[in-house]
Amino acid sequence: MTSKYNNYYDNGICQLHNLLDRIASGKYIL
């Protein structure tokens, strides 16, 4: 895999973790 792809993947994981943190803190209600 290219480093460009890895950066995109890492950014996606980071955003996913941020979303999970927001849900966990109660800012988003599913």
pLDDT at 16: 92
Write out pLDDT tens, residues 1-30.
568 878 888 888 989 999 999 888 887 665
Spatial neighbors of 10 by CB under 8 A, at least 6 apart, are none
Predicted pLDDT of residue 5: 79
* pLDDT value, residue 15: 92
Distances (CA, A) of 28 to 7, 10, 13, 21: 27, 23, 18, 10
Confidence (pLDDT) at 7: 84
